[in-house]
Structure 1
Amino acid sequence: MVLSLTDVELSLQGNAGMVDILHGISLEVAKGDTLGLVGPSGSGKSSLLMLMGGLERATGGSVLALGNDLTTMDEDQLARFRRSHMGVVFQSFHLIPTMTALENVATPLELAGAADAFERAEAELDAVGLGHRTDHYPAQMSGGEQQRVALARAAAPRPDILLADEPTGNLDQATGAAIMDLLFDLRDRHGATLIMVTHSLDLAARCDRTIRLVDGRLDAETRNTPDLRVTDAATTGYAKVGE
């Protein structure tokens, strides 16, 4: 398994004391899988994704990624592991404003010691349709273009695991649809395992599996057929986890 979570718990300190975010999450994700995480706001979707990426530390249970227990790693070890094996795409792009598109994409490759960092970065920008924007800064690009740079940056190191947290949340519907096509194309070209948080059941239905979280617990899971398109929560056909 690429990812294996067992009895994972997450509690965080809030203004009024400890807040329990995730409760006893157990799931496995195989190599090449696409997994959509859905559920109402505050259900723990993004927190679960952050645990999978070692960006948040579980307070109970274990999180294994490619056989490595992320819960036992220190911050430096986690950073090196992500650099070598993971690509992360956020809703807010998180581009470095003082760097061009090319420099933004090349940065993780340079940090990994790739001698051809800029050549690979240029190829990834070409792949997302931004070969003509390599010298532009984030402020000179639209939101959709910035998200395409972020996708290229995540894909350039050829990660084993692609994590996407509401990658279309800041985009209009048409631009968001184009970004999702690119995300799945990057996954197909590089053979990565893709895990995506989304509020859109239509987008989640493009994944091999969809898992629904409610109040920090796994509520339901479905395996999607290639032609499945979900437009209403009442038509999801979820089967309860464990049934």
Structure 2
Amino acid sequence: MSETALDLKDVCLSLDGNAGRVEILRDLTLQVERGETVGLVGPSGSGKSSLLMVMGGLERATSGQVSALGRDLSAAGEDALARFRRTHMGVVFQSFHLIGTMTALENVATPLELAGHRDAFDRALQELEAVGLRDRADHYPKQMSGGEQQRVALARAAAPRPDILLADEPTGNLDGTTGAMIMDLLFDLRERHGSTLVLVTHAPELAARCDRVIRLVDGRIDAAGGGA
């Protein structure tokens, strides 16, 4: 398997808005090695979250090539992308995205069940224990604090033991103390599973924990502020 986890070549992303066509990413080339931790920083609207979505195949690039673990995501259909993410990627969002009608345990176990793991609930319970929520396994999201919900989201992303973890402002909706705890857990999970981590953040102290920091400005990598 390739030593490069993510390989983007001349990637552009354009989206149609109310004011017409908007250029989000511009001729962006970037490589992330297996096991590396990378922080994506930059002002609001610079394209950080869009870049993360393109890396995960959640947003399709307008042009250029996006590869993950040697697999060309640009040429893959939606079903193939979903299967690839289910097996190889974990994604953590700022807004948790938990299913309100499912318990914490069910939220974590569901992607494992979809991937065909017969021990889905046992593994889900192990991941909840790893984030300190074993005793909250039967609780629903509305019965949990924001920090607890994000810990469930972390457990869900880590449960498949993904090769790549993508995190989009995972502490953005949390207070400072809770956010620091979440980041400690995220880096611990990455270390435990040996995953590649790409993290979007506005927090300098969080970016500083990464092996490399890449700054985006107007959809391009700022050569003065970090890069490939």
Shorter-chain TM-score tier: over 0.9
- Please give the per-residue CA displacement for 1:114-146, whole angstroms capped at 9, x wherever unaligned: 000000000000000001000000000000000
How many Å separate the matches in 1 of 2:52 and 2:204? 17
Contact persistence 1:101–1:149 (CA under 8 A):
yes
Contact persistence 1:90–1:167 (CA under 8 A):
yes
- Please give the per-residue CA displacement for 1:189-213, whole angstroms capped at 9, x wherever unaligned: 0000000000111100100000000
Task: Give 1:39's aligned residue.
Answer: 42
Taking the TM superposition and a 5 Å limit, the aligned residue runs for 1:84-233 are 84-220=87-223
Shift of 1:174: 0.2
Contact persistence 1:213–1:220 (CA under 8 A):
no
Given the alignment, which residue of 18, 24, 28 partners 1:21?
24
Letter in 2 for 1:128: V
SS at match of 1:2: strand
How many Å separate the matches in 2 of 1:203 and 1:154? 19
- 5+ residue gaps in structure 2? none
Task: Give 1:233's aligned residue.
Answer: none
Given the alignment, which residue of 53, 61, 66 partners 1:63?
66
Letter in 1 for 2:46: S
- Please give the per-residue CA displacement for 1:76-134, whole angstroms capped at 9, x wherever unaligned: 11101100100000000000000000000000000001000000000000000001000
Letter in 2 for 1:89: V
**Sequence identity of aligned pairs in percent?**
75
SS at match of 1:136: coil
How many Å separate the matches in 2 of 1:9 and 1:201? 27
- Please give the per-residue CA displacement for 1:47-87, whole angstroms capped at 9, x wherever unaligned: 00000000000011100101111111111111011001000
How many Å separate the matches in 2 of 1:6 and 1:201? 27
Letter in 2 for 1:185: D
SS at match of 2:202: coil
SS at match of 2:108: helix
How many Å separate the matches in 1 of 2:134 and 2:96? 18
Shift of 1:220: 3.4
SS at match of 1:96: coil
Task: Give 1:77's aligned residue.
Answer: 80
Q: What TM-score does the superposition give when structure 1 sets the normalisation length?
A: 0.91
SS at match of 1:57: coil
Letter in 2 for 1:216: G
How many Å separate the matches in 2 of 1:70 and 1:14? 25
- Please give the per-residue CA displacement for 1:154-202, whole angstroms capped at 9, x wherever unaligned: 0000000000000000000000000000000000000000000001111
Deviation beyond 4 Å, 4+ runs, structure 1: none
Structure number with the bigger relative contact order (C-alpha 8 A, sep ≥ 6) is 2
- 5+ residue gaps in structure 1? 222-237
How many Å separate the matches in 1 of 2:184 and 2:205? 13
Q: What TM-score does the superposition give when structure 2 sets the normalisation length?
A: 0.97
Q: Cα RMSD over matched residues?
A: 1.0
